[in-house]
Structure 1
């Protein structure tokens, strides 16, 4: 059978940016020193977190050099991944983001329910201390296929034989590591399994929205 030339266009991809930040150890040590005692001093917030402790979303405003440095580094990653559509194509974005950032401290048994981050364009998670997270301790981060059940509507065993068009399941699992940064579209649903490490797992979450008015 003759084969015609085939062009594959992978439509509507969902970007997930992953990197390990330089200077993470110094940043992490300073953040842990500042925040680990906070659950004993402040009640914290309740949003998607089931157990654990969450700070106010004002990390970016604190006079804490490590926090300011981290916010600048994460903003640089977000800027590099953002473009603006204009007549003729895409150009590099130059935006004054509306930034919110907060600290999560998950003690043993804590988790996060499935949620997205409404009102933002990019969201990010930075791991200050993974708490010894691993297969034996749980606490994995799950991203949910935005197509829902669509990949399995016909036959859950079928797969595309096209690189980059993976339909192996409904979630993508990420095992946290200290110093790891994840950046993703804010509409992408995600959750965290219950964590059972010996020490608290500490992370920083970010929302990047464009200014209004």
Structure 2
């Protein structure tokens, strides 16, 4: 056959390792655990774990400021103001919280309306494995697929490269890793099977118009 397949609407998922992650994690972990001991936290998407209020920038000190600077740089590198590419007309506002998830805890599927980028940074993946945590993958769902698959769940599309399309992507996590994705993607976390608490930092970046000079 002479048919040609074209892949449309690429969705970028950014995976990075934070420079100096070991030092950042050593400084950040006791701050997070002290906050958990002092505050009851909130219940949002977390199932069986503790989630902080969205005030981490107030008590996270230089480790959080360093992490945020790195994630903002990633965001700048992976999008562009097509009208003014050399002088972007936006700034990034941030919303930051942390999760402490004991073994078997998880996060239900959800999105972050109003944000542009969402990122997760892993302070401690809760596992003794060198190459990343056992279980507890970050699950990202293709928003186009759930309704279609309800009628014929085993019928899948083939992509432009011939591979079978999967409606969900499960991403392995490890300490020091950043995973960043567009905030409209539905995502969640399956239960992890590590031996200790998993600690992660969640950051939303909101694009806001830059004030005139």
Q: TM-score scaled to structure 1, two decimals?
A: 0.84
How far is the alpha carbon of 1:61 from its aligned partner?
3.6
Q: Does the 8 Å contact 1:107/1:196 carry over to 2?
A: no
Gapped runs of 5+ residues in structure 1? none
1:162 paired residue number = 160
Secondary structure of the residue aligned to 2:90 is coil
1:30 paired residue number = 27
What is the distance in 2 between the residues matched to 1:151 and 1:16? 23
2:114 paired residue number = 119
1:131 paired residue number = 126
Asked if 1:109 is matched to 2:104, the reply is yes
How far is the alpha carbon of 1:115 from its aligned partner?
0.2
Q: Which of 184, 191, 194 in structure 1 is aligned with 2:191?
A: 194
1:19 paired residue number = 16
2:90 paired residue number = 95
Q: Does the 8 Å contact 1:140/1:175 carry over to 2?
A: yes
Q: Does the 8 Å contact 1:133/1:140 carry over to 2?
A: no
Q: TM-score scaled to structure 2, two decimals?
A: 0.84
Higher mean C-alpha deviation, range 171-180 or range 153-162: 153-162
What is the distance in 2 between the residues matched to 1:120 and 1:16? 15
How many residues end up aligned between the 2 structures? 206
2:205 paired residue number = 208
Give the aligned CA root-mean-square deviation in angstroms.
2.7
How far is the alpha carbon of 1:168 from its aligned partner?
3.1
Compared CA separation, residues 48 and 166, structure 1 to 2 (3 A): farther
How far is the alpha carbon of 1:112 from its aligned partner?
0.4
What is the distance in 2 between the residues matched to 1:25 and 1:166? 37
Q: Deviations over 1:105-141 (max 9, x none)?
A: 1012311011001110111111111001879942111
Q: Does the 8 Å contact 1:112/1:192 carry over to 2?
A: yes
How far is the alpha carbon of 1:151 from its aligned partner?
6.7
